[in-house]
Amino acid sequence: MSITASVGFGGKNTVPDTRLVQAMINPHTAALGIDLLDVDGDCGPLTRGGIKRYQQVFLKMTSPDSKVDPGGKTFLHMANNPAPAGVVVSAMRLPVKLKAGDFLQVPVVIDPADGTVQDAYTAFEYEIFDKGARMVGADYAFGVPNEIEVWPSAQVRIGVVLDAGLLAHEQFHYDVGFVVCRALAHQLTIARAPTIGGLITQLNSLVDLHIKRRVKLIQRRYDVDTQHGANAKYQRIWLDRMTACIANPAANQIGGFWL
């Protein structure tokens, strides 16, 4: 990993070199007290300011030159000090437990998976925040620390009482979103690509695999087995599986299905 020419004030500022420097600064923006840099290859005032701040904070330069030279002191420090150890992409959900107030009351509830009329239906929404790219060796990686946020999108038919049994059934559907996003977060933490474009391609592929395909398979199997919560035996089996899955942060399967 190296740059071919200087980046920063008075530098040549080629697009590949500038992107590399931006990605090397981003893991440290909290410590530097600056905003995340767009890894766009444009060495504008924010990037030059980030270099200057890096030199002031980490290299204790009294007269920073706002420039990163190939093989220079600033570049070598950046290359030898990647993202702080232990930082990862993780997932969190809010609320943790569903309650009646989390459900939108509607006249008719249709399960889009099979077109059946139900008393309630719960899906989830999520957001993956753009924390900028970082460098790991010669590859780009997702910015850390980062957290995928998960929240419910739930409906209940007007007049239906959300008793303990119905809430437990809907809670499972919501929890699927959390455990799958947690598995996705693990994959985003270790994802690497030689280019920013390659990293974005990996992101789209991982989201398609986990959020679209695997969620659909798990939700469908759960509803078939439990008959939308009417089969108490399988309802308990699946709830026990979910309890064990949530308790294991490294879980990558539930009931034989990949997360």
Q: Residues 126-174: pLDDT tens digits?
A: 999 988 888 887 888 998 889 999 999 999 999 999 999 999 999 999 9
Q: What mean pLDDT is reported for the chain?
A: 93
Q: Is residue 86 scored above 70 in pLDDT?
A: no
**Six-digit token pair at 157?**
């038919």
Closest by Cα among 256, 212, 246, 258 to 91: 246
Alpha-carbon distance of 146 to 148, in angstroms, equals 7
- 7: part of which helix (H) or strand (E)? strand 7-8
Non-local (6+) Cβ contacts of 237 within 8 A are 225, 255
At residue 143, the pLDDT reads 87
Measured in degrees and rounded to the nearest 5, phi and psi for residue 37 equal -95, 140
Is-contact 43 8, C-beta < 8 A?
A: yes
Is-contact 152 96, C-beta < 8 A?
A: no
As a whole number, mean pLDDT of residues 208-227 equals: 96
**Six-digit token pair at 75?**
């570049």
Residue 85 pLDDT grade (very low, low, confident, very high; cuts 50, 70, 90): low
